[in-house]
Amino acid sequence: MFNVLSVDDLSQDFLISLWDEAYDRKGKRNKKLNGKILTNLFYEPSTRTSSSFYSAMKLSGGDVIPINNVTFSSVSKGESLEDTVKTISQMCDLIVLRHNIAGSAKIASQVSGVPIINAGDGNSEHPTQTILDGYTIYHYFNKKIDNLNITLVGDLKNGRTVKSLVKLLTRFKNNKFNFVSPENLRFDGQLPPNSSEVSDINKVIEETDILYVTRVQKERGSKYNYELSIDQLDKIPKNSIVMHPFPRVTEIPSSFDKDPRAKYFDQIKFGVWCRQILLERILL
């Protein structure tokens, strides 16, 4: 049984092949998953992620059981995660799990009778976010993910997306990383070979291919806040791209949204495309 718990579960070949298919099919509808049922089991609410899986499943003709309020129901009767997962796995073909505690997806996979996709477990992993982040780069850099200059900015300590993305990008050749954050929110994962930590984004922005802006993690206790100005953003080269895992707070002004380098809404669309292929690969 094929679970997607971590980026580590996804080989290079698998990713390239998934991205190529997503590129070719671009979310086109089919009926491949007719009669298949996915359960969105969300302990922590996430409109964006649950809707994306919902849409992806529907694009292939499958069905979705939406459970967005687990904490209001079984759990309030004292049920363990294991029992809830074992129970739900009797009624569907796949569980997409979002949970506030790191390691939950792994625990779920050990008891589930159907595959588990980790849609975010606390501060740990959110592999389908990384798949869509990687696809966005693949899409805009001529199906290549090497020789890129990537600038990551924001709270690099608490954001799981940055850690997973860096892990992914270091698998490819000659990528260079600039980590831009305040002292107390520095990247605490393993620093890749070709990387530097800088405190002033202006020192690296002009040579940046990908500016990856992260969100202030208010709900995880961070108090850090920042705003990139239009002037700063405008310094990135013409063929570079600006990404953001969303939601955003103040990091990027909405007046930048119409700039052709702003790709954060494309990321959301690409998320549906990639998840559609992933669901088919797991369920067929």
| Nearest residue (CB) to its own copies, 58 versus 281 | 58
Among 17, 24, 65, 188, binds its own copies (CB under 8 A): 65
Binding of its own copies at residue 80 (CB under 8 A)?
yes
Spell out the SS3 assignment of the chain. CCCECCHHHCCHHHHHHHHHHHHHHCCCCCCCCCCCEEEEEECCCCHHHHHHHHHHHHHCCCEEEEECCHHHCHHHHCCCHHHHHHHHCCCCCEEEEEECCCCHHHHHHHHCCCCEEEEEECCCCCHHHHHHHHHHHHHHCCCCCCCCEEEEECCCCCCHHHHHHHHHHCCCCCCEEEEECCHHHCCCCCCCCCEEEECCHHHCHHHCCEEEECCCCHHHCCCCCCCCCHHHHCCCCCCCEEECCCCCCCCCCHHHCCCCCECHHHHHHHHHHHHHHHHHHHHC
**Only segment of 6-14, 77-85, 150-158, 191-199 that touches its own copies (CB under 8 A):** 77-85
Binding of its own copies at residue 66 (CB under 8 A)?
yes
**Only segment of 11-19, 57-65, 122-130, 181-189 that touches its own copies (CB under 8 A):** 57-65
Binding mask 144-173 for its own copies (x = CB under 8 A): ------------------------------
Instruction: List the interface residues with its own copies, window 225-264 (CB under 8 A).
Output: 246-249, 254, 257
Work out how close the CB of 13 gets to its own copies at its nearest, in angstroms, rounded to a whole number.
Answer: 28
Instruction: List the interface residues with its own copies, window 90-149 (CB under 8 A).
Output: 90-92
Binding of its own copies at residue 29 (CB under 8 A)?
yes
Which positions lie near its own copies, rule CB under 8 A?
Answer: 29, 35, 37, 39, 45-48, 51-52, 54-55, 58-59, 63, 65-70, 72-74, 76-80, 82-84, 86-88, 90-92, 215, 218-219, 246-249, 254, 257, 265, 268-269, 272
